[in-house]
Amino acid sequence: MTSRGVLTVGEAMAVVRSEHPLRLGGPTHLTVAGAEANVAIGLARLRHPVRWFSRLGQDEPGALVARTLRAEGVDLTTVQYDDAAPTGLMLTDRLPGRNVRVHYYRSDSAASRMSPDDVTPELFDDASLLHLTGITPALGPGPAGLTQRLAEVAANHRVTVVLDVNHRARLWNRHEARTALRSLLPYIDVIVASEDELSLVTEGDDETAMVERLLDGATHELAVKRARRGASLFTPDSRYDHPAPPVDVLDTTGAGDAFCAGYLSATLDGLGPQERLARAVTLSACAVTAVGDWENLPTRNELDLLGLEAGETVR
């Protein structure tokens, strides 16, 4: 396994977006999303080989997901299709005050039927990095077992394992999350978490102590997202910080996934810790300047343009 490809695993859904409370009706926009799929698109746009594994329904929403990811250059050769369960669905609307609200319809979806038996050697072909999130094990016992098995097999094959904690309170509670996520830690090389998610993967309420405990185990890099204050990267020997660029925030949905895509991209490019953090924060800032999870993520050709002054014309 000498190539620099990425395997990411998780559910993608059809998404219906409204800029108003759904109960009022009105125009909506149909698209796709899912944390792992968002990361896959971000990596593909930056010209990294990336394979997404999941299970989709044999239905029109599943066809929409597959078509969208395939068009973005994501490898879907190992995706499974289920004719007895639907593709997941997510609805989003905006509350007064412009806050986004998410409504999930993913119980008993095709992806919720994934299991440890789905882990095959072919999944890891050409993969040097495995990207997992805390969302997949929240989908049920089968996906939880799948996540555990993937981490174990990846570690045995010397594939770098990255865990984005990505807690979804509407899918499971913090106690359930702690139990499942901490069982993964012996196999995790890199952890990405927001400040309030650290206590899900270790004990304590003091960040310094929690960071030390996590870096005392298998994990050798810990990236902590701090929203408008940027992010920090911890290694056993050093700490690095990077501020968030000043941008007009339209929609924070997908910001964490963009952060992951940027961090993994810079890792695959062989960049140093400060540069990895900088690309992660920059992609996250790109994501929040437009509505949608992945639509505003840059291509490789656009990376050098991200430092331009706001409003500057590219000729």
Catalytic residue numbers read 257
Q: What type of residue sits at position 179? A: T
Both tokens of residue 19?
């800029």
The Cα–Cα gap between 287 and 98 comes to 17
For residue 293, give both structure tokens. 């999870």
Side by side, the strands of the sheet bearing 29-33 are 29-33, 13-17, 89-94, 100-105
What does the angle CA 112 – CA 189 – CA 138 come to, to the nearest 5 degrees?
20
Cα end-to-end span (Å), the chain: 42
Residue 256 in tokens = 């964490």
Q: Which residues contact 140 (CB under 8 A, 6 or more apart)?
A: 112
Q: What is the Cα–Cα distance from 262 to 176, expressed in whole angstroms?
A: 29
Beta-bridge mates of residue 104: 90
Structure-token match 């369960």, residue found: 85
Considering Cα of 159, then 113, then 260, then 218, what sign does the dihedral take?
negative
| Cβ proximity of 219 and 185 under 8 Å | yes
